[in-house]
Structure 1
């Protein structure tokens, strides 16, 4: 396996009540639990960060697959929803990805999204571990 890039971040404080930073200073975030979990909701939280990272990575995979197939994709978007669930004594995540590709037939867009799901690094990392739903929407 060839390493192409390694990202690094440090979380300090109390996890959901703390700070997340990268050594290069490009990311420096206050972390707080969402109001729904009893926090102030003032900062961001791990689920929001995971939703942002997964949707961006999936969008990149979608565009990579489209280019490889010589399909022109313009103004596409990928929305990510990450839900935290209680499961027994612990917790579990689930992810919903909503793909929008304006001007593309729904079936063709779903096929492209499914192909992106097969190669996306986040999809490969989570496959079999959490429920991930990929849906194509017209808006």
Structure 2
């Protein structure tokens, strides 16, 4: 089964210009980031690439945890992308730091939750698309809420 998604973008100006994009539920203003000499209003491809990788990772992890019936009370993912202009603008690395809070009955599955947190990266569609070009790491933190 194939799925199609559509994008529409409009840009005004040069390097200091701005644009508007739409793709399904995404609607945003885009500009060059301030730290790269742009106006820094709205988002940019760097943030969107990081967001796509982190969102895909987070959803994949949530689906894996659910499939194994692991009692997740809260799942939060903090991700950092390192982008470099050396040798042409590119993404060097992405680090995902998921924080998984399990219910009290989750004591016996902490190791499994850690394993799934690492496995989710290789099963994520965006991670697979970036493979060989971007170093992606996962540093999970799994906690159990014992009710105290």
What TM-score bracket applies, with the shorter chain setting the length?
A: 0.7 to 0.9
Aligned to 1:8: 6
Counterparts in 2 of 1:62 and 1:32: CA distance versus 1, 3 Å:
same
* Distance in 2 separating the partners of 1:138 and 1:67: 15
TM-score by length of 1: 0.80
Matches within 5 A, 1:1-139: 2-3=1-2, 5-13=3-11, 14=14, 17-22=17-22, 26-88=25-87, 90-93=88-91, 94-103=93-102, 107-137=111-141
Aligned residues: 135
Give unmatched runs, 5+ long, in structure 2.
144-148
The superposition leaves residues 19-49 of structure 1 with CA deviations (integer Å, 9 ceiling, x where unpaired) of 242265x433211122211112121111111
Give unmatched runs, 5+ long, in structure 1.
none
List 4+ stretches of structure 1 deviating above 6 A: none
Higher Cα radius of gyration: 2
Alpha-carbon RMSD across the aligned residues, in angstroms, is 2.5
TM-score by length of 2: 0.76
